[in-house]
Amino acid sequence: MTRTKVTADPLLCAVAASQGRVDQPAALFAALDGATKSAIGHKLFTILTYDDDTGEAARVYSNLPGPYPTGGRKRLAPGPWTEAVLDRGEAYIGYNRDDLRTVFADHELIASLGCESVLNMPVRWRGRTLGSLNLLHEAGWYGYDDAAACLPFAQLALPALLTATSS
């Protein structure tokens, strides 16, 4: 009986291996940044946590800390974006500047960085969105196949986000 060997995805393996490092969550977040850049692509990459009690998002990682520093917080307004990403746990894809303008107050800053499309990928646990991976790139960059490719990376962020939301 012959068996077809399965080849492990080296990017997913690198992210999984980073979880064993002592310098958490920095090691995991940096591995997610590098892996999603290689697998999907991004110019701006951030990781947010969401607090149900305060209705706020907090930035826990950014590959561009100048314009998007860690520790930044913002109140989330109810609407189609929060209903999709936070309530239903669905990825949000914005294809162009107009899409970004309708959901992000900082759309001008985003555009100044050469970003006109977005993939917001929720990180879920027990039916709840704890955070998201946020990838931004040139117009038309992201599609639903990218959301599917991003899902395993997002869920590998779970241990760090569970720790961040429980402290």
Q: What is the pLDDT of residue 10?
A: 96
Could you tell me the sign of the dihedral formed by the alpha carbons of 50, 55, 58, 64, in that order? positive
Q: 32-60 burial, b for 16+ CB within 10 Å, e for fewer?
A: bbbbbbebbbbbbbbbbbbeeeeeebbbb
Tokens 């490719």 belong to residue = 149
Question: What CATH superfamily classification does 36-166 receive?
Answer: GAF domain (3.30.450.40)
Q: What is the pLDDT of residue 167?
A: 53
Query: What residue spans define the domains of the chain?
Result: 36-166
Query: Residue 17 CB: number of other CB atoms within 10 A?
Result: 12
Q: What is the pLDDT of residue 53?
A: 87
pTM of the model: 0.94
91 DSSP 8-state letter: -
The mean pLDDT values, 10 residues at a time, for the chain of 167 residues are 88 96 96 98 97 92 96 88 94 96 94 98 96 98 97 97 75
Report the interhelical angle of 26-39 vs 158-166 (nearest 10°): 140
Q: What is the pLDDT of residue 79?
A: 86
Q: What is the pLDDT of residue 43?
A: 98
Q: What is the pLDDT of residue 78?
A: 86
Q: What is the pLDDT of residue 8?
A: 92
